[in-house]
């Protein structure tokens, strides 16, 4: 399924986004091919391409008004959960009795067991940078973080979901159909 994605974005307030009509993909940052296979890279590029198209921008091989680069970082994380089960937790007790020592007092003790479980998971951070090709300045950036679902059956849906969420703060609204 789709776990939620956390998105942070920022943009150049002075940039006139309405003048941009075409975009070109600059490709992936150098280390990304060690993390993503060609299918995943194309899937992500296509999903962002669709989001830009919804905003009236068309993809060109070169010479676009804006240039888009993508970068992915994956961190291995571990979550730890602990559960404590208390059994027979008695209290203090005192009683009178007959025996060698006169009375007796005692403490009733219970037992507790704590079980820990660790789960390893991958958290991906995807960065999309958008540059004005005329000024060569970055004009928009979106950073999305999400636990990675590595089930290939979910890949298309998950990538489309992440691209949509990451593009939501883009200064150009999707065109209403």
pLDDT digits (tens, 9 = 90+) for 32-89: 777 788 888 899 999 999 999 999 999 999 999 999 999 988 778 777 788 877 776 5
Spatial CA neighbour of 105 closest among 119, 91, 122: 91
Kindly give, in sequence order, each residue whose CB lies less than 8 Å from that of residue 52, ignoring residues fewer than 6 positions away.
23, 59, 68, 167
pTM for the structure as a whole? 0.72
DSSP 174: P
Give SS3 for 127.
strand
- Structure confidence at residue 1 as a pLDDT band (50, 70, 90): very low
Q: Is the pLDDT of residue 133 over 90?
A: yes
Angle at the Cα of 176 (from 173 to 177), degrees rounded to 5?
150
pLDDT of residue 106: 52
């Amino acid at each position: 399924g789709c776990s939620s994605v956390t998105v942070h974005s920022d943009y150049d307030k002075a940039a006139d986004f309405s003048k941009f009509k075409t975009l070109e993909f600059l490709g992936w940052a150098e280390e990304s091919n060690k993390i993503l296979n060609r299918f995943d890279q194309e899937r992500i590029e296509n999903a962002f391409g669709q989001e830009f198209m919804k905003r009236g921008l068309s993809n060109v091989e070169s010479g676009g008004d804006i240039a888009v680069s993508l970068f992915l970082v994956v961190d291995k994380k571990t979550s730890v959960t602990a559960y404590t089960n208390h059994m027979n937790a008695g209290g203090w007790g005192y009683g009178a009795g007959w025996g060698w020592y006169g009375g007796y007092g005692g403490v009733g003790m219970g037992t507790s067991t704590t079980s820990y479980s660790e789960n390893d998971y991958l958290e991906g951070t995807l960065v999309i940078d958008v540059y004005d090709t005329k000024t060569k300045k970055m004009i928009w950036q979106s950073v999305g973080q999400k636990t990675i679902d590595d089930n290939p059956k979910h890949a298309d849906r998950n990538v489309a979901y992440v691209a949509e969420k990451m593009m939501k703060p883009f200064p150009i609204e999707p065109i209403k159909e």
